[in-house]
Amino acid sequence: MPIPGNILTTAMAVMPHIDVNRALKTALSLDIPFWPQLPNLTYYEDMYVQAAEHFPGILLDLNHRTLRFSTDKFAHEIEEVMSHFEEQEYFDISPTYSQVYHRFLEMDLSKVPAIRGQLEGPISFGFNIQDENDRPILFNDTVRQFMLEFMAQRINVQLKRLKKINPNAFMFVDEPGLQYIFNAMSGYNDMTAKNEMDIFFSLIDRPRGIHLCGNPDWSFLLNLDLDILSMDVFLNGEIIVSYHKEIKKFLDRGGVLVWGIVPTNFEPFYKEQLKSLEKRLIQLWDTLSKKGIDQKFLLSRSLISPATCCLVNPDGETTVEKAFLMVKELSLRMRDSYKIE
């Protein structure tokens, strides 16, 4: 099984660190490490900027930390980009856009259970990047169709590189925008989104999945062809487990769930304790067990992580690092409690 379960630990990639070594040490402290994205270090390390490398029409302003789009520039540059479509290196993240990624690739990670990479997904990228008329490029049919293929190519190239250093590598497609598109704007309904996300994932190599920290249409997500789904259950746990039928189908076809339970934001973190988070997670799993999902099977298909990323804590990286430690402690405690080797 390429993606291990058994309530091992991982985390999402965006971290507040400005020290690359410290960030990598924190990421490597979990069972399934990843390469961190450090937007406080440089704007190149922002997840949207990294996804935008070589995307035609992009206007990147490092001084003002803005990312925009020009329709005319897109038309002028797309032919050049298409001429590189068979060149894998062209679609990988360059050292300019992430020094952390390339440090990660140089490490010996053959002994860990798995490793993970990530890239911003087309829905969130298209929703976040606006053109000269302040219109998200998601609503430009020509750009959106190209964007699906472009992002799939970039994800596949990264996954291939990660698999060279650990055969159990997998990819998160980060899609925070999925919680907004169905009710925040018109012109991109759920049927169109479902069809295009199906196309998108058909272009991506396995194992692959989605991470988001919000509260989207969980039925929509659980019915996509994913291998893994990462969720913020600290805030949305009761809502998520109400989709028990969809969760059962997702698990039965081989899916893995990442239970984001430990808050990384300063105030909620210090209001919680290890026992309170353990109790909350057990309640969620017991609810699913009562709905007919075998608990042993569920735990074999589950990972534990922090609930969200956080860049805005007054203590910088300190609370985030404490949350990572608590995730590890919680995993060990629950693995012992459920007698999972």
Count of Cβ atoms closer than 10 Å to residue 23 Cβ: 26
Token representation of residue 21: 């070594």
How many whole angstroms separate alpha carbon 234 and alpha carbon 216? 15
How many whole angstroms separate alpha carbon 23 and alpha carbon 14? 10
Distance between the two ends of the chain, CA-based, in angstroms? 16
Q: What percent of the chain has pLDDT over 70?
A: 97
Identify the band that residue 185 occupies on the pLDDT scale cut at 50, 70 and 90: low
Q: Print the domain residue range for 255.
A: 8-41+98-337
Residue 68: helix, strand or coil by DSSP?
A: strand
Count of Cβ atoms closer than 10 Å to residue 242 Cβ: 13
Q: What type of residue sits at position 11?
A: A
In a domain, 180, yes or no: yes
Model confidence at 294: pLDDT above 60: yes
Model confidence at 191: pLDDT above 90: no
Model confidence at 102: pLDDT above 90: yes
Identify the band that residue 215 occupies on the pLDDT scale cut at 50, 70 and 90: confident
In a domain, 121, yes or no: yes
Question: Which residues, 6+ apart, have CB-to-CB distance to 280 below 8 Å?
Answer: 233, 234, 237, 261
In a domain, 115, yes or no: yes
Residue 314: helix, strand or coil by DSSP?
A: coil
In a domain, 152, yes or no: yes
Identify the band that residue 182 occupies on the pLDDT scale cut at 50, 70 and 90: low
How does pLDDT run across 23-67, given as a tens digit for each residue?
Answer: 999 999 999 999 999 999 999 999 999 999 999 999 999 999 999
Mean pLDDT of 171-182: 84
Q: What are phi and psi of 62, to 5 degrees?
A: -70, -35
> Domain with 110 in it: what CATH number?
3.20.20.210
How does pLDDT run across 142-151, given as a tens digit for each residue?
Answer: 999 999 999 9
Q: What angle do CA 60, 89, 164 make, to 5 degrees?
A: 125
Residue 145: helix, strand or coil by DSSP?
A: helix
In a domain, 83, yes or no: no
In a domain, 85, yes or no: no
- pTM to 2 decimals? 0.95
Let me know: does 269 contact 316? Beta carbons within 8 Å.
Answer: no
Mean pLDDT of 292-310: 97
- Number of domain units in the chain: 1
Identify the band that residue 187 occupies on the pLDDT scale cut at 50, 70 and 90: low
| Least reliable range by pLDDT among 45-54, 64-73, 183-192, 212-221 | 183-192
Model confidence at 1: pLDDT above 80: no
Within the chain, strands assigned E span 8-9, 58-61, 66-69, 116-120, 170-174, 208-211, 228-232, 256-262, 302-306
In a domain, 186, yes or no: yes
